Amino acid sequence: MKTRRDFLRSTVLGASATWTVPMFVERTFGQLHEGSRDLAIQPTTGKDDTILVVLQLAGGNDGLNTLVPFADDEYHKARPRLGKKEKELIQLDDYFGLNGAMPFLGSLFKEGDLGIVQGVGYPNPNRSHFVSTSIWETCDTYNRSNTGWLGRYFDNACTGADPTVGISFNKTQPESFGAEKNPGVCLDTPELYRWIHGGGEKAKAEEFFADLNKPHSDEDDEEMPSDGGSIAMAAGGKVGGIRGENALDFLERVALDARVSSKQILEIAAKHKTKVRYDGTPLARNLNLVSRMIAGGMPTRVYYVSHGGFDTHNQQLNSHDRLLGQMDSALKSFFADLKEQGNEKRVVLMTFSEFGRRVAENASAGTDHGKASCLFVAGPSVKGGLFGKAPSLADLSDGDIQHTVDFRSVYGSVLQDWLKTSALKPILGGDYPKLHLFG
């Protein structure tokens, strides 16, 4: 990322990154000076309380080949090539089995540490990747909101929190982090790794972040829109800031925040050494970083990571199994690492995907965009089991299973029972039945 335009498109600016100078100065510099590293201004932090890790399965995960209704004849009729046989699965009961590529998650379920929510979706579902992801991220099924559910959690339940209350390992900030006051921090992993592993690469990381704050030239101006409206369009949403502040000032101010926050994050993360082996997949590397930050005492309450490739229109069988296997292996290492630290009971990981796939396989041995799916809530503090009503494969809506659980019920249960906030209406926009995901 050589230019400010690249920075705009690929780092902390997201759908509604909103900052003010007083908050920026107080939270970045005030919290980092000598004697203030415990970030005591936030009453409850990830340093001493519960932590949520959100794992996005991007592209639309096929829930029917993840949590497989192997005993249902309708399933096998609809999927003569893609259907999983009982012997290929990790049997959960007489009807369901987990995809055989996920032995670790199968063991978690049997130990009572994995909750699987069935038929998760929302009314009047949308099959567009972009729109449906936005709905899951903002909890707004009618209009695109300028804030996300996690950003509203930061604003309503984490007053006075450090900017690192939420950390996303994405090239762009997820819409769920969109906030009026504190949108968290979005960091790109290659630079993090160079810093953590030390040596000559550390200087490159420092140079990378420092370069974002260099005085701009005429050439820079030509490469980046100079008006706030254009920046909002380039960033994919509404950008907030100081009244009268031009786009470049806004960008450089947030870039400086990223530099300071990144330095703090990486110094903490570099302290942790683990005996646990992680695979070389992007997901495993990101979860390794998350475990390092937790071990180092970061105040972060929410971490956000992604695992992509689930848009399986063609030749799904091997690719879907491979993706689930990569996720399973990464989670096995992550939870083993947390256990080694003694932090496993403080961390819960929740998956989500923008939609499921059609019940029937297509002519290309794949599946097309569907509606409802399943999701996982994992960790020793989870009350394991199957949650929600199993969707019918005989009573379909335009070829799709109908949702039986609104995804906001899952969010509300996690917010209330895990993150211990009562501010559900401002965050979710309404009341939703709670699932008893925690013992």
Angle in degrees, CA 127, 128, 132, rounded to 5: 85
Task: Please check whether residue 48 lies inside any domain of the structure.
Answer: yes
Confidence of residue 439 (pLDDT cuts 50, 70, 90): confident
Task: Please check whether residue 242 lies inside any domain of the structure.
Answer: yes
Question: Which of 118-122, 157-161, 190-194, 257-261 ranks highest by mean pLDDT?
Answer: 118-122
> For residues 262 and 193, what is the distance between their CA atoms, to the nearest angstrom?
12
Residue 167, classified by CB atoms within 10 Å of its CB into exposed (0-12), middle (13-18) or buried (19+), is buried
- Residues 99, 65 contacting (CB under 8 angstroms): yes
pLDDT tens figures, 100-141: 999 999 999 999 999 999 999 999 999 999 999 999 999 998
Question: Which of 212-226, 278-292, 401-415 ranks highest by mean pLDDT?
Answer: 401-415
Confidence of residue 18 (pLDDT cuts 50, 70, 90): very low
Tell me the two tokens of residue 416.
């209330």
Tell me the two tokens of residue 241.
């800031």
CA distances to 156, 237, 312 from 144, rounded to whole Å, are 20, 9, 26
Q: Which of 9-23, 67-81, 133-147 has the lowest mean pLDDT?
A: 9-23
**Other beta carbons less than 10 A from residue 439's beta carbon:** 9
* SS3 call for 256: helix
Task: Please check whether residue 439 lies inside any domain of the structure.
Answer: no
Query: With DSSP H G I counted as helix, E B as strand and the rest as coil, what are the percentages for the chain, rounded to 5?
Result: 40, 15, 45
Amino acid symbol at 234 = A
Task: Please check whether residue 434 lies inside any domain of the structure.
Answer: no
Average pLDDT, the chain: 79
Report pLDDT for 188. Answer: 65
Task: Please check whether residue 402 lies inside any domain of the structure.
Answer: yes
Say whether pLDDT at 35 is over 90: no
Sign of the torsion formed by the C-alpha atoms of 186, 261, 252 and 194: negative
Report pLDDT for 145. Answer: 84
Comparison of pLDDT for 378 and 223, the residue scoring more: 378
Task: Please check whether residue 438 lies inside any domain of the structure.
Answer: no
> For residues 285 and 274, what is the distance between their CA atoms, to the nearest angstrom?
13
Domain that holds residue 37: 4-428
Report pLDDT for 387. Answer: 98
> For residues 430 and 439, what is the distance between their CA atoms, to the nearest angstrom?
24
Backbone angles phi, psi at 105, to 5 degrees: -65, -35
Strands 89-91 and 97-99: antiparallel
Task: Please check whether residue 437 lies inside any domain of the structure.
Answer: no
Q: Which of 9-18, 52-61, 82-91, 339-348 has the lowest mean pLDDT?
A: 9-18
> For residues 385 and 382, what is the distance between their CA atoms, to the nearest angstrom?
9
Task: Please check whether residue 115 lies inside any domain of the structure.
Answer: yes
> Between the CA atoms of 337, 341, 347 and 350, what dihedral angle is there, to the nearest 10 degrees?
0
CA distances to 1, 83, 114, 192 from 317, rounded to whole Å, are 36, 9, 24, 34
Say whether pLDDT at 34 is over 50: no
Q: Shortest CA distance to 68 belongs to which of 371, 377, 357?
A: 357
Q: Give the count of domains, the chain.
A: 1
